[in-house]
Protein backbone atom coordinates (compact mmCIF):
# COMPACT_ATOMS: atom_id res chain seq x y z
CA UNK A 1 0.00 0.00 0.00
CA UNK A 2 1.05 3.62 -0.43
CA UNK A 3 2.44 5.64 2.46
CA UNK A 4 -0.73 7.72 2.36
CA UNK A 5 -3.01 4.71 2.79
CA UNK A 6 -1.09 3.37 5.82
CA UNK A 7 -0.60 6.65 7.62
CA UNK A 8 -1.89 6.84 11.19
CA UNK A 9 -5.40 8.25 11.28
CA UNK A 10 -7.70 9.34 14.07
CA UNK A 11 -11.01 9.09 12.23
CA UNK A 12 -12.66 7.72 9.13
CA UNK A 13 -15.60 9.04 7.16
CA UNK A 14 -18.83 7.16 6.61
CA UNK A 15 -21.63 8.01 4.15
CA UNK A 16 -22.48 11.67 4.48
CA UNK A 17 -18.99 12.53 5.70
CA UNK A 18 -19.52 11.70 9.40
CA UNK A 19 -16.29 10.90 11.19
CA UNK A 20 -15.80 7.77 13.30
CA UNK A 21 -13.32 7.82 16.20
CA UNK A 22 -10.57 5.22 16.48
CA UNK A 23 -11.90 1.74 17.38
CA UNK A 24 -15.53 2.79 16.99
CA UNK A 25 -17.86 -0.16 16.38
CA UNK A 26 -19.23 0.02 12.83
CA UNK A 27 -20.88 -2.54 10.52
CA UNK A 28 -18.75 -4.44 8.04
CA UNK A 29 -20.58 -2.76 5.14
CA UNK A 30 -19.70 0.69 6.46
CA UNK A 31 -16.08 -0.37 6.99
CA UNK A 32 -15.92 -1.39 3.33
CA UNK A 33 -17.45 1.96 2.39
CA UNK A 34 -14.80 3.78 4.41
CA UNK A 35 -12.02 1.71 2.85
CA UNK A 36 -13.28 2.43 -0.65
CA UNK A 37 -13.55 6.14 0.17
CA UNK A 38 -9.95 6.14 1.41
CA UNK A 39 -8.73 4.39 -1.75
CA UNK A 40 -10.67 6.81 -3.98
CA UNK A 41 -9.22 9.76 -2.10
CA UNK A 42 -5.65 8.44 -2.18
CA UNK A 43 -5.47 7.56 -5.88
CA UNK A 44 -7.35 9.23 -8.74
CA UNK A 45 -6.83 6.12 -10.87
CA UNK A 46 -9.27 4.17 -8.67
CA UNK A 47 -12.72 3.76 -10.25
CA UNK A 48 -15.82 1.99 -8.91
CA UNK A 49 -18.22 0.35 -11.34
CA UNK A 50 -21.21 -1.94 -11.10
CA UNK A 51 -24.97 -2.28 -11.24
CA UNK A 52 -26.82 0.33 -9.13
CA UNK A 53 -23.70 1.37 -7.19
CA UNK A 54 -24.09 5.10 -7.96
CA UNK A 55 -27.02 7.08 -6.54
CA UNK A 56 -28.49 3.95 -4.92
CA UNK A 57 -25.22 2.95 -3.28
CA UNK A 58 -25.56 -0.71 -4.25
CA UNK A 59 -28.05 -3.31 -3.10
CA UNK A 60 -26.27 -3.50 0.27
CA UNK A 61 -25.39 0.24 0.33
CA UNK A 62 -21.66 -0.48 0.43
CA UNK A 63 -20.98 2.37 -2.03
CA UNK A 64 -23.50 4.76 -0.50
CA UNK A 65 -22.51 8.42 -0.86
CA UNK A 66 -19.38 7.74 -2.92
CA UNK A 67 -20.72 8.96 -6.26
CA UNK A 68 -21.95 12.19 -4.67
CA UNK A 69 -18.48 12.75 -3.23
CA UNK A 70 -16.25 11.66 -6.12
CA UNK A 71 -18.49 12.17 -9.14
CA UNK A 72 -20.11 9.96 -11.74
CA UNK A 73 -16.90 9.64 -13.76
CA UNK A 74 -15.25 7.70 -10.91
CA UNK A 75 -18.24 5.92 -9.33
CA UNK A 76 -20.67 4.87 -12.03
CA UNK A 77 -23.52 2.53 -12.82
CA UNK A 78 -23.13 -0.07 -15.54
CA UNK A 79 -25.59 -2.02 -17.68
CA UNK A 80 -26.82 -5.38 -16.37
CA UNK A 81 -23.99 -7.22 -18.10
CA UNK A 82 -21.37 -8.80 -15.85
CA UNK A 83 -19.18 -9.91 -18.75
CA UNK A 84 -19.19 -6.33 -20.00
CA UNK A 85 -18.36 -4.97 -16.54
CA UNK A 86 -15.26 -7.14 -16.18
CA UNK A 87 -14.25 -6.74 -19.84
CA UNK A 88 -14.42 -2.96 -19.47
CA UNK A 89 -12.38 -3.17 -16.25
CA UNK A 90 -9.68 -5.14 -18.07
CA UNK A 91 -9.45 -2.41 -20.72
CA UNK A 92 -9.33 0.30 -18.05
CA UNK A 93 -6.54 -1.53 -16.22
CA UNK A 94 -4.55 -1.72 -19.45
CA UNK A 95 -4.88 2.06 -19.70
CA UNK A 96 -3.49 2.60 -16.20
CA UNK A 97 -6.65 2.76 -14.08
CA UNK A 98 -7.39 0.67 -10.98
CA UNK A 99 -11.03 -0.40 -11.41
CA UNK A 100 -13.11 -1.97 -8.64
CA UNK A 101 -16.09 -3.95 -9.95
CA UNK A 102 -19.11 -4.88 -7.87
CA UNK A 103 -20.94 -8.08 -8.78
CA UNK A 104 -24.36 -7.51 -7.29
CA UNK A 105 -24.83 -11.08 -6.01
CA UNK A 106 -22.55 -14.12 -6.00
CA UNK A 107 -24.65 -16.13 -8.45
CA UNK A 108 -24.50 -13.33 -11.01
CA UNK A 109 -20.75 -13.71 -11.48
CA UNK A 110 -20.95 -16.61 -13.92
CA UNK A 111 -21.71 -14.52 -17.04
CA UNK A 112 -18.32 -12.92 -16.33
CA UNK A 113 -16.56 -16.23 -15.69
CA UNK A 114 -14.93 -16.33 -19.11
CA UNK A 115 -13.59 -12.78 -18.84
CA UNK A 116 -12.22 -13.48 -15.34
CA UNK A 117 -10.63 -16.88 -15.90
CA UNK A 118 -9.45 -16.67 -19.52
CA UNK A 119 -8.59 -12.97 -19.80
CA UNK A 120 -8.14 -11.20 -16.46
CA UNK A 121 -6.26 -14.06 -14.78
CA UNK A 122 -3.96 -14.67 -17.76
CA UNK A 123 -3.28 -11.22 -19.17
CA UNK A 124 -0.10 -10.50 -17.17
CA UNK A 125 1.40 -13.91 -17.90
CA UNK A 126 0.40 -13.65 -21.56
CA UNK A 127 2.41 -10.43 -21.84
CA UNK A 128 5.37 -11.78 -19.83
CA UNK A 129 4.73 -9.38 -16.95
CA UNK A 130 4.64 -6.25 -19.09
CA UNK A 131 0.90 -5.68 -18.53
CA UNK A 132 -0.46 -5.39 -15.00
CA UNK A 133 -4.08 -6.09 -14.06
CA UNK A 134 -4.87 -4.09 -10.88
CA UNK A 135 -8.56 -5.07 -10.93
CA UNK A 136 -10.63 -5.85 -7.83
CA UNK A 137 -13.88 -7.75 -8.21
CA UNK A 138 -16.12 -7.41 -5.15
CA UNK A 139 -18.49 -10.34 -4.68
CA UNK A 140 -21.14 -10.39 -1.91
CA UNK A 141 -21.34 -14.13 -1.27
CA UNK A 142 -22.83 -16.80 0.98
CA UNK A 143 -26.12 -17.60 2.64
CA UNK A 144 -28.05 -16.80 5.80
CA UNK A 145 -30.05 -13.94 4.27
CA UNK A 146 -33.18 -15.85 3.22
CA UNK A 147 -32.77 -15.05 -0.48
CA UNK A 148 -33.77 -16.93 -3.61
CA UNK A 149 -31.68 -18.99 -6.05
CA UNK A 150 -28.50 -17.34 -7.44
CA UNK A 151 -28.35 -14.98 -4.44
CA UNK A 152 -26.65 -17.21 -1.82
CA UNK A 153 -23.83 -19.03 -3.60
CA UNK A 154 -20.25 -19.63 -2.42
CA UNK A 155 -18.26 -19.88 -5.68
CA UNK A 156 -14.83 -18.97 -4.32
CA UNK A 157 -13.23 -22.35 -5.16
CA UNK A 158 -13.69 -21.76 -8.91
CA UNK A 159 -11.45 -18.72 -8.70
CA UNK A 160 -8.97 -20.11 -6.18
CA UNK A 161 -8.40 -22.91 -8.71
CA UNK A 162 -7.46 -20.35 -11.39
CA UNK A 163 -3.76 -19.35 -11.50
CA UNK A 164 -3.29 -15.60 -11.79
CA UNK A 165 -6.07 -14.60 -9.40
CA UNK A 166 -5.74 -13.62 -5.76
CA UNK A 167 -8.78 -14.56 -3.67
CA UNK A 168 -9.53 -13.07 -0.25
CA UNK A 169 -12.44 -12.76 2.18
CA UNK A 170 -12.68 -10.55 5.29
CA UNK A 171 -14.63 -11.66 8.34
CA UNK A 172 -14.53 -8.49 10.46
CA UNK A 173 -15.08 -4.76 9.87
CA UNK A 174 -11.42 -4.09 10.66
CA UNK A 175 -10.25 -6.56 8.03
CA UNK A 176 -12.83 -5.25 5.56
CA UNK A 177 -11.50 -1.70 5.92
CA UNK A 178 -7.85 -2.63 5.51
CA UNK A 179 -8.14 -5.56 3.08
CA UNK A 180 -10.15 -3.65 0.47
CA UNK A 181 -7.41 -1.03 0.37
CA UNK A 182 -4.70 -3.68 0.16
CA UNK A 183 -6.60 -5.38 -2.68
CA UNK A 184 -6.93 -2.12 -4.62
CA UNK A 185 -3.21 -1.44 -4.13
CA UNK A 186 -2.31 -4.86 -5.58
CA UNK A 187 -1.05 -4.95 -9.16
CA UNK A 188 -2.62 -8.39 -9.57
CA UNK A 189 -6.35 -9.10 -9.97
CA UNK A 190 -8.09 -9.76 -6.65
CA UNK A 191 -11.39 -11.56 -6.13
CA UNK A 192 -12.79 -9.94 -2.98
CA UNK A 193 -15.50 -12.14 -1.44
CA UNK A 194 -17.63 -10.25 1.08
CA UNK A 195 -19.76 -12.31 3.50
CA UNK A 196 -23.09 -10.61 2.91
CA UNK A 197 -24.69 -12.13 6.01
CA UNK A 198 -22.12 -10.22 8.10
CA UNK A 199 -22.61 -6.83 6.43
CA UNK A 200 -24.57 -5.60 9.47
CA UNK A 201 -22.29 -7.12 12.13
CA UNK A 202 -20.48 -4.39 14.03
CA UNK A 203 -16.88 -4.40 15.17
CA UNK A 204 -13.97 -2.02 15.82
CA UNK A 205 -11.95 -0.53 12.98
CA UNK A 206 -8.46 0.13 14.29
CA UNK A 207 -7.11 3.13 12.41
CA UNK A 208 -4.15 3.49 14.72
CA UNK A 209 -2.31 0.51 13.23
CA UNK A 210 -1.29 -0.50 9.72
CA UNK A 211 -2.88 -3.34 7.82
CA UNK A 212 -2.13 -7.00 8.42
CA UNK A 213 -0.65 -8.37 5.17
CA UNK A 214 -3.43 -9.21 2.73
CA UNK A 215 -2.56 -12.89 2.43
CA UNK A 216 -1.96 -13.69 6.10
CA UNK A 217 -4.15 -16.07 8.06
CA UNK A 218 -4.64 -15.30 11.73
CA UNK A 219 -5.38 -17.05 15.01
CA UNK A 220 -8.50 -15.37 16.41
CA UNK A 221 -8.95 -17.65 19.44
CA UNK A 222 -6.29 -19.79 21.11
CA UNK A 223 -6.85 -23.36 22.23
CA UNK A 224 -5.03 -26.64 22.80
CA UNK A 225 -7.20 -29.60 21.75
CA UNK A 226 -8.74 -28.96 18.31
CA UNK A 227 -8.02 -26.44 15.53
CA UNK A 228 -10.93 -24.94 13.58
CA UNK A 229 -10.26 -23.18 10.26
CA UNK A 230 -12.62 -21.14 8.08
CA UNK A 231 -13.09 -17.86 6.25
CA UNK A 232 -15.63 -15.09 5.87
CA UNK A 233 -18.99 -15.67 7.55
CA UNK A 234 -17.89 -19.11 8.77
CA UNK A 235 -15.43 -17.55 11.24
CA UNK A 236 -18.34 -16.29 13.35
CA UNK A 237 -19.83 -19.80 13.35
CA UNK A 238 -16.49 -21.29 14.41
CA UNK A 239 -16.18 -18.82 17.28
CA UNK A 240 -19.71 -19.72 18.40
CA UNK A 241 -18.75 -23.40 18.32
CA UNK A 242 -15.57 -22.67 20.28
CA UNK A 243 -17.59 -20.94 23.01
CA UNK A 244 -19.95 -23.91 23.26
CA UNK A 245 -17.01 -26.32 23.33
CA UNK A 246 -15.36 -24.32 26.11
CA UNK A 247 -18.54 -24.63 28.16
CA UNK A 248 -18.15 -28.41 27.83
CA UNK A 249 -14.49 -28.29 28.85
CA UNK A 250 -12.90 -28.50 25.38
CA UNK A 251 -10.22 -26.01 24.37
CA UNK A 252 -10.56 -25.03 20.70
CA UNK A 253 -8.31 -22.82 18.57
CA UNK A 254 -9.89 -20.83 15.71
CA UNK A 255 -8.01 -19.59 12.64
CA UNK A 256 -9.40 -17.07 10.14
CA UNK A 257 -7.96 -17.82 6.69
CA UNK A 258 -8.55 -14.29 5.35
CA UNK A 259 -6.84 -15.32 2.11
CA UNK A 260 -8.09 -18.26 0.07
CA UNK A 261 -5.47 -18.01 -2.67
CA UNK A 262 -2.70 -17.97 -1.72
CA UNK A 263 -3.29 -19.63 1.68
CA UNK A 264 -0.97 -18.78 4.54
CA UNK A 265 -0.42 -22.23 6.03
CA UNK A 266 2.11 -21.36 8.73
CA UNK A 267 -0.39 -20.54 11.52
CA UNK A 268 -2.48 -23.58 10.54
CA UNK A 269 0.44 -26.02 10.63
CA UNK A 270 1.73 -24.57 13.90
CA UNK A 271 -1.71 -24.91 15.44
CA UNK A 272 -2.15 -28.52 14.26
CA UNK A 273 1.27 -29.39 15.63
CA UNK A 274 -0.04 -28.18 18.99
CA UNK A 275 -3.60 -29.56 18.97
CA UNK A 276 -3.19 -32.68 16.80
CA UNK A 277 -6.68 -32.23 15.33
CA UNK A 278 -8.15 -30.10 12.54
CA UNK A 279 -11.69 -29.30 11.43
CA UNK A 280 -12.13 -27.18 8.28
CA UNK A 281 -15.50 -25.53 7.68
CA UNK A 282 -17.08 -23.51 4.87
CA UNK A 283 -20.47 -22.63 3.40
CA UNK A 284 -19.48 -24.04 0.01
CA UNK A 285 -20.15 -27.69 -0.90
CA UNK A 286 -17.29 -29.88 0.30
CA UNK A 287 -16.48 -31.76 -2.91
CA UNK A 288 -13.36 -30.38 -4.66
CA UNK A 289 -13.40 -27.35 -2.36
CA UNK A 290 -11.06 -24.97 -0.53
CA UNK A 291 -11.65 -27.18 2.51
CA UNK A 292 -10.48 -30.20 0.50
CA UNK A 293 -7.25 -28.43 -0.42
CA UNK A 294 -6.53 -27.45 3.18
CA UNK A 295 -7.25 -30.96 4.42
CA UNK A 296 -4.90 -32.46 1.83
CA UNK A 297 -2.11 -29.95 2.41
CA UNK A 298 -2.18 -30.24 6.21
CA UNK A 299 -2.14 -34.03 5.89
CA UNK A 300 0.96 -33.76 3.69
CA UNK A 301 2.80 -31.25 5.85
CA UNK A 302 1.80 -32.27 9.38
CA UNK A 303 0.87 -35.96 9.08
CA UNK A 304 2.89 -37.07 12.09
CA UNK A 305 1.32 -34.38 14.28
CA UNK A 306 -2.25 -35.50 13.57
CA UNK A 307 -4.03 -37.54 16.23
CA UNK A 308 -7.15 -37.86 14.05
CA UNK A 309 -8.10 -37.47 10.39
CA UNK A 310 -8.70 -33.93 9.17
CA UNK A 311 -12.49 -33.47 9.16
CA UNK A 312 -14.53 -31.17 6.93
CA UNK A 313 -17.85 -29.46 7.65
CA UNK A 314 -19.48 -28.03 4.54
CA UNK A 315 -22.72 -27.38 2.75
CA UNK A 316 -24.23 -30.42 1.12
CA UNK A 317 -23.28 -31.34 -2.44
CA UNK A 318 -26.56 -30.10 -3.85
CA UNK A 319 -27.85 -26.85 -5.37
CA UNK A 320 -28.68 -24.16 -2.85
CA UNK A 321 -32.19 -24.90 -1.56
CA UNK A 322 -35.21 -22.61 -1.05
CA UNK A 323 -34.65 -20.06 1.70
CA UNK A 324 -36.70 -21.92 4.31
CA UNK A 325 -34.29 -24.86 4.06
CA UNK A 326 -31.02 -22.92 4.20
CA UNK A 327 -30.48 -23.54 7.92
CA UNK A 328 -30.48 -27.28 7.22
CA UNK A 329 -28.16 -26.87 4.23
CA UNK A 330 -25.51 -24.55 5.70
CA UNK A 331 -23.08 -25.58 8.46
CA UNK A 332 -23.89 -24.25 11.91
CA UNK A 333 -22.22 -24.42 15.33
CA UNK A 334 -23.87 -27.78 16.11
CA UNK A 335 -22.44 -29.43 13.00
CA UNK A 336 -19.00 -28.00 13.82
CA UNK A 337 -19.26 -29.29 17.39
CA UNK A 338 -20.19 -32.74 16.09
CA UNK A 339 -16.96 -32.73 14.06
CA UNK A 340 -15.01 -31.60 17.12
CA UNK A 341 -16.45 -34.50 19.10
CA UNK A 342 -15.61 -36.97 16.33
CA UNK A 343 -12.04 -35.65 16.13
CA UNK A 344 -11.60 -36.04 19.88
CA UNK A 345 -13.02 -39.58 19.79
CA UNK A 346 -10.03 -40.94 17.83
Residues annotated as catalytic (active site), given as ranges = 151
Distance from first CA to last CA of the chain, Å, rounded?
Answer: 46
Strands 202-204 vs 25-27: parallel, antiparallel or unpaired: antiparallel
- Asked if 245 and 337 touch (Cβ cutoff 8 Å), the reply is yes
Give the span between the Cα atoms of 136 and 151, in whole angstroms.
20
- Asked if 306 and 275 touch (Cβ cutoff 8 Å), the reply is no
Query: Where does residue 231 rank: exposed (0-12), middle (13-18), buried (19+ CB within 10 A)?
Result: buried
How far are the Cα atoms of 20, 159, 211, 313, 336 from residue 246, in angstroms, in the given order?
Answer: 35, 35, 31, 19, 13
Give the span between the Cα atoms of 323 and 333, in whole angstroms.
19
Backbone torsions φ then ψ of 221, nearest 5 degrees: -155, 130
- Asked if 142 and 233 touch (Cβ cutoff 8 Å), the reply is yes
How far are the Cα atoms of 37, 71, 134, 277 from residue 6, in angstroms, in the given order?
Answer: 14, 25, 19, 37
Residue 3 is given by DSSP the state T
Amino acid sequence: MSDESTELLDSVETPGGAEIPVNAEIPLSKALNAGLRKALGDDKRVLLMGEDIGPLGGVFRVTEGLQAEFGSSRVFDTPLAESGIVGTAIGLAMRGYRPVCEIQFDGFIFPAFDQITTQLAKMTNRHEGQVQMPVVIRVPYGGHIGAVEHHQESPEAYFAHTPGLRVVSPSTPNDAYWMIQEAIASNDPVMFFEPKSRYWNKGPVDLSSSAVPLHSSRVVRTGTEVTLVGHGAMVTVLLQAAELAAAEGTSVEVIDLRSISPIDYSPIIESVQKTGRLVVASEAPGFVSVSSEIAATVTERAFYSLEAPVLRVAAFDAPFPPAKLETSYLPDADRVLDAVDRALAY
